[in-house]
Structure 1
Amino acid sequence: MDELQTFKVKAPGRIFLFGEHSDYLSLEVISAALNLSIYFSVKERKDDHITLNYRDLNQKDSFKITDEVTYQEKRDYFRSSFNVLKKKNILLTKGADIEIYGDIPIAGGLSGSSAFSVASIIALTKLAKYDISKHDIAQYAFEAEVLEFKESGGKMDHLASTFGKIIHVDFAKQLKLTKLPAELDGIVIGDSLEKKQDTVGDIKLIRSTVESGYNRLSKFIDDFSHRKTDYSTIEKFIHNLDEPERSWTLATIKNRDLTRTALKLLSKSKPDPEIIGELLNDEHVILRDGLHRSTNKIEKMISAAKSAGAIGGKINGSGKGGTMLAYAPGNEKQVAKAIKEVGGKPYIITISDGASLII
């Protein structure tokens, strides 16, 4: 008789340093994995029952691996991970007791849901004794979180959690992932404690609006390409678009060019902190003024962080609440204190390895 498996899974959250809102628009993103993670503690059972104990939420779930597994809520990501794998004929022969906990702020723009989906895929494939590649972990987690619920997000969150460290991903027709050598310390995350209302709806609206902008521009610019046409050419014709199509499309192109500038800098192991700070500030201006993603509280937190010694700052994730990032090498504690004083919850973080199985 096979010995029952016992193991843990760890999957980190992430920040987008540059290229926020660009993965689902077929552009480029630079992300960093954080030492804030989701953890699964897994004990295989002799029978066919899966039990889930969400320790931080004080919630439980259970189902039989032989059942038709239905969704109990709109974003039921463990069950969707199970179903995605089942469709691929990756099957469990025994159940498991799984305790789930973590320290990623909920709905904070740090991709806790994507880390959860990544951890689910790793745990379930381990239980199924299926050897899976990192790219497939990210792909199946993306399918479980986004495609299974017909949502509009991109795959960057899942790649960031799976691969870890700082990575650049170009979402061209053929996805290209590059691990970057840059070493960044001094990052402080501030949770505004403002809960975002409709992340999925926001992403869907931005995506449809910007893609409509691309289509309109192609009527005025010969051989228009959102990946290749230069900003100065687009700027000449952008007046033909109505709002918010005009400002959102222009912001997306600015973001494209800023991310490419940042890529050159982060391709060095010791990038100039002052320039990194300036670029993060530029990224925030695009998100705040171009895509209207910030809030008064986030602005107050960024301002307080800069007054305390941060040299750069931006909002994280889809925006309209959630968290911000302050870049403050050497001044982390002072910046964390300043964020707390204006009502935020600070986390001094380090850049982490990707998702892992702990036997």
Structure 2
Amino acid sequence: MINIRVPARICFYGDHQDYLGLPVIAGTIDRYINISATLNHTDRFEIQLKDIGTRRTINFNDSLEEVDEGDYFLSAIAVLKKSGLHLKHGYTVEIEGNIPLNAGLSSSSALTVAWIRFLLSSQEFPKTWTNKQVGHWAYEAEVLFFNQPGGLMDQYSIAQGGLIFIDTQKGETTKLSTKLGKLVVSESGLPKKTLDVLKNGRVYGQKAIKAVKQQYPDFNMKLASADDYEKYKHAVPEKYRAHWYAAVHNYQITKKAKKELLRENPDIKFLGGLMNAHQDILQNQIQNTPQPMIKMMEAAREAGALGTKIVGSGGGGCMVALVVEENMERVVQAFLSQGAKDAYEVNLTSS
């Protein structure tokens, strides 16, 4: 039998930055997708998705030329086949987990990474691989294969684990301190609007940066400072200025968070303040946070949370709060009192 366990992820700093080529800080938490598989001596995978009560059969001779949008099972096989994967062994596969679906904790990317790890473990593959390579294959399968607007943060962070700073241009990662305090995740109960939010964030952000570079060809976003928002604002059409602000200032927040998290004992109050500053931009400039979730996070901060933010692309889904131990239960109850579907403690996992 083969058993695979892959964690969920939270982006703490840098939401809506990776597709602009800017860095992010993300970490994996102790909520998981689990795959268990046994040989069935056929030329197919018999897959049971237990959490949603569906079954799927994939034959080894299935065509990979016309893969339905979002079929990451087949896109992952197609990506790995290009790298030398040979399907030789049939398996009966059970998939289940405790990551809330369509809620911002990247259940889909966790499943893709888990599926890739299963394929590599169960089939004939001629090469060695690293966790980073697994993340890149997952990124290819989810984003590049379907020409989607997302970045590589989800796949890279889930595949590598721990808390990491990701240079999304180079694909390089830096391990950071996991001494981030206590964490509470709250499920709002509101469905996400992933593709619409991502598309607007990506297009508007890219057009804002492009407008600046058209007038100032030497401008380098990776070298931008907080002062550059005002310095170059006149070059950005009014329609994209909010996303110009978000690009510049979220980048500064991420750099400050990285510097703090490289310390042996980071200041969690400072990090909570950065989280709040990041959320302020997400809800006011990116506009990805529904009003009910804003009220939930306000209540959590009033109950003692050091920082709160929406998780994932936005429009709904989950929130995370950075707390100290003595305020944990008060923060949980604050989320619930404002109508959250659920709230509970989570922990960062190691790499």
TM-score range, shorter chain: over 0.9
1:79-228 to 2 correspondences below 5 Å: 79-130=74-125, 131-172=128-169, 174-197=170-193, 199-221=194-216, 223-228=218-223
Quote how far apart the aligned CAs of 1:229 are.
3.1
- Whether contact under 8 Å (1:163, 1:353) holds in the other structure is no
Which deviations, in whole Å up to 9, do the C-alpha atoms of 1:189-222 show, x marking residues without a partner? 111110013x123212221221111111123335
Alpha-carbon distance in structure 1 between the residues aligned to 2:154 and 2:122:
24
Amino acid at match of 2:46: T
Alpha-carbon distance in structure 1 between the residues aligned to 2:191 and 2:67:
22
Quote how far apart the aligned CAs of 1:233 are.
3.1
Q: TM-score, normalised by structure 1?
A: 0.92
Alpha-carbon distance in structure 2 between the residues aligned to 1:207 and 1:24:
6
- Whether contact under 8 Å (1:84, 1:143) holds in the other structure is yes
Alpha-carbon distance in structure 2 between the residues aligned to 1:352 and 1:91:
32
Amino acid at match of 1:169: I
Is 1:337–2:312 an aligned residue pair? Answer: no
Amino acid at match of 1:240: A
Quote how far apart the aligned CAs of 1:278 are.
0.7
Q: TM-score, normalised by structure 2?
A: 0.95
Quote how far apart the aligned CAs of 1:15 are.
0.7
- Whether contact under 8 Å (2:88, 2:123) holds in the other structure is yes
- Whether contact under 8 Å (2:236, 2:244) holds in the other structure is no
Quote how far apart the aligned CAs of 1:157 are.
0.6
SS in 1 for 2:215: coil
Of all paired residues, the percent bearing the same amino acid is 31
Q: What's 1:49 paired with?
A: 44
Quote how far apart the aligned CAs of 1:75 are.
1.0
Quote how far apart the aligned CAs of 1:71 are.
6.5
Quote how far apart the aligned CAs of 1:185 are.
2.9
Alpha-carbon distance in structure 1 between the residues aligned to 2:319 and 2:291:
12
- Whether contact under 8 Å (2:197, 2:314) holds in the other structure is no
Amino acid at match of 1:147: L
Alpha-carbon distance in structure 2 between the residues aligned to 1:115 and 1:347:
20
- More divergent stretch after superposition (321-330 vs 214-223): 214-223
Alpha-carbon distance in structure 2 between the residues aligned to 1:110 and 1:147:
20
Alpha-carbon distance in structure 1 between the residues aligned to 2:31 and 2:291:
25
Quote how far apart the aligned CAs of 1:79 are.
1.8
Amino acid at match of 1:114: S
Alpha-carbon distance in structure 1 between the residues aligned to 2:9 and 2:289:
19
SS in 1 for 2:241: helix
Aligned partner of 2:289 among 294, 300, 304: 294
- Whether contact under 8 Å (1:248, 1:290) holds in the other structure is yes
- Whether contact under 8 Å (2:197, 2:288) holds in the other structure is no
Which deviations, in whole Å up to 9, do the C-alpha atoms of 1:237-261 show, x marking residues without a partner? 3133223311102211101111001
Unaligned residue ranges in structure 1 (runs of 5+)? 1-5, 355-359
Amino acid at match of 1:220: Q
Q: What's 1:236 paired with?
A: 231
Q: What's 1:21 paired with?
A: 16
Quote how far apart the aligned CAs of 1:295 are.
0.8
When residues 222 and 89 of structure 1 are mapped into structure 2, their CA distance, relative to the original with a 3 A threshold, is: closer
1:52-67 to 2 correspondences below 5 Å: 52-67=47-62
- Whether contact under 8 Å (1:63, 1:69) holds in the other structure is no
**TM-align CA RMSD:** 1.6
Amino acid at match of 1:136: Q
Alpha-carbon distance in structure 1 between the residues aligned to 2:55 and 2:66:
14
Q: What's 2:344 paired with?
A: 347
Alpha-carbon distance in structure 2 between the residues aligned to 1:44 and 1:132:
23
Quote how far apart the aligned CAs of 1:182 are.
3.7
Alpha-carbon distance in structure 1 between the residues aligned to 2:124 and 2:63:
21
Alpha-carbon distance in structure 2 between the residues aligned to 1:150 and 1:108:
22
Alpha-carbon distance in structure 2 between the residues aligned to 1:229 and 1:260:
11
Amino acid at match of 2:175: K
SS in 2 for 1:294: coil
Q: What's 1:3 paired with?
A: none
Question: Post-superposition, which runs of at least 4 consecutive aligned residues in structure 1 deviate over 4 A?
Answer: 69-73
SS in 1 for 2:238: coil
Aligned partner of 2:279 among 272, 278, 284: 284
- Whether contact under 8 Å (2:152, 2:168) holds in the other structure is no
Which deviations, in whole Å up to 9, do the C-alpha atoms of 1:69-115 show, x marking residues without a partner? 47775311112111211232211201111111111111111111111
